[in-house]
Amino acid sequence: MNRIALVTGGVTGIGAATSLALKAAGYRVCVNYLGNEAGAEAFGRSNGIPTFAWDVADFDACAHGVAEVAAKLGPVEILVNNAGITRDSMLHKMTKEQWRSVIDIDLGGCFNMCRAVIESMRERNFGRIVNISSVNGLMGQAGQTNYAAAKAGMIGFTKALALESAPRGITVNAIAPGYTKTDMVATVRPDILKMIVDAVPARRLALPEEIARGAIFLVSDKAGFITGETLSINGGRYMS
């Protein structure tokens, strides 16, 4: 399988696991990242996966980044929107900046990146988009009004774009991971994280590779009739 796949936030965590799984499955993979220069350099060197730096919250940077990928590798046929941040705070303490940054990066990034690839996918009558949402977009989480709003927004976005894109052979799906063993989850206070894990029927965090496996399934050519769906991978924590 020689299709070209782009994973945002692809140097660490779920993004890195997804990039590696795509490469192992035979796709031509490249990743986007921002800020983590040393990590990106080491990732690219050890895996031979090209890395491209831009800010997914910046509309023009996404357009330029996708054009650069197209010039170097070819048109993006598979997009995994994984880049995201948390800025946890109870709403009564949340700043405008905490709200805006999460909405701009997590949800705005999804729009910016889809917008940058969709015309070429439509022209080619093929595309696979996977938006990495969250269990907390489905069930909410105290301290995450910003993140839950952005991740729930990605699910509505996924459904709307799936409807627009189905006639062109493009599928658009979301994955809603539960709490996963990543740097993002490692920032949660240990006592709070213990309570969270205790509430997971499987009694553990997901591994990034377990989320990546869902993405590999959804982007395959044979998954062409699955669109607008949200695949929960959460150890039984929430069943919608």
Is residue 90 part of the contact set for ligand CAA (CB under 6 A)? yes
Closest alpha carbon to 134 in 102, 182, 98, 178:
178
Residue 116, classified by CB atoms within 10 Å of its CB into exposed (0-12), middle (13-18) or buried (19+), is buried
Is residue 179 part of the contact set for ligand CAA (CB under 6 A)? yes
Q: What is the distance between the alpha carbons of residues 51 and 29, in angstroms, rounded to a whole number?
A: 9
> Is 238 known to be catalytic?
no
Q: What is the distance between the alpha carbons of residues 179 and 194, in angstroms, rounded to a whole number?
A: 11
Largest CA distance in the chain: 51
Q: What is the distance between the alpha carbons of residues 50 and 33, in angstroms, rounded to a whole number?
A: 11
Among 11, 40, 175, 185, binds ligand CAA (CB under 6 A): 185
Residue 37, amino acid: E
Among 12, 82, 131, 144, binds ligand CAA (CB under 6 A): 144
Among 82, 86, 131, 165, binds ligand CAA (CB under 6 A): 86
* Active-site pick, 27, 33, 147, 179: 147
Among 10, 143, 214, 235, binds ligand CAA (CB under 6 A): 143
Is residue 96 part of the contact set for ligand CAA (CB under 6 A)? no
Is residue 101 part of the contact set for ligand CAA (CB under 6 A)? no
Between 189 and 222, CB nearer to ligand CAA: 189
Closest alpha carbon to 42 in 21, 18, 11, 82:
11
Shortest Å, Cβ 9 to ligand CAA: 12
Between 142 and 163, CB nearer to ligand CAA: 142
Between 24 and 192, CB nearer to ligand CAA: 192
User: Are 227 and 158 in contact, with CB atoms under 8 Å apart?
Assistant: no
Structure tokens at 198: 């205790």
- Binding residues for ligand CAA, rule: CB under 6 A, are 86, 88-90, 134-136, 141-144, 147, 179, 184-185, 188-189, 192, 196
Q: Which residues are catalytic?
A: 147
